[in-house]
Copies of this chain bind each other. A is one copy, B any other.
Amino acid sequence: MKLPASTEWVLHCATALAQLEPGVSASAGQLAEYFDLPLPYLAKQLKALVKAGLLTASTGPKGGFRLARAASEITLLQIVEAVDGAASPYECREIRSQGRGALPQEECRTPCILAAKMGEAHRAWRRTLREVSLADILADLPPHAPERTRRRLS
């Protein structure tokens, strides 16, 4: 069970963008330099955040990416699922209904209790990440961080 390495990238990029002045953008190239990441692959991930409605992309000399809404309205869950999807890591292929032990159809109308418990765990994971916004992350940074981020990212 592994999240793609780009999960770390997009969480940090979104956190960096959340520190810019309102209306200011950073390009994929600026973000790639800021974190020393491969530009083509990072650009693809940033586009996924745009597609998910978390970032806005603009063109032109001062164009680039910025948050599509307030940092308090963007959760870690939304960022993570923008690049990895929302599916549960556990896939139930209904092996209870195959082989010599196959259960009769009428016992398979409700979800398998094992799949249900695995689903509960996934919901607990999602709930934790849904409760943390980019604003919460920013509140945890040292007071001098945003000014430094703006200077180095521009």
Contacts and interface: CB of A to CB of B under 8 A. Distances in A.
Candidate in A33, A34, A89, A102 with the most chain B CB atoms within 10 angstroms: A89
Contacts of A100: 33-34, 36, 152-153
Main secondary structure of the interface of A (DSSP, over half): helix
Contacts of A125: 121-122, 124-125
Contact of A124 (B102, B128, B149): B128
A76 to B, nearest CB: 6
Interface stretch (A10-18, A47-55, A58-66): A10-18
Interface of A: 1-3, 5, 7-9, 11-12, 15-16, 33-37, 76, 80, 84, 87, 89-93, 95-96, 98-102, 107, 113-115, 117-118, 120-122, 124-129, 132, 137, 140-142, 149, 152-153
Given A76-B114, A122-B125, 12 more contacts: A1-B2, A3-B90, A5-B91, A8-B114, A9-B95, A11-B114, A15-B114, A33-B100, A101-B152, A101-B153, A121-B129, A124-B125
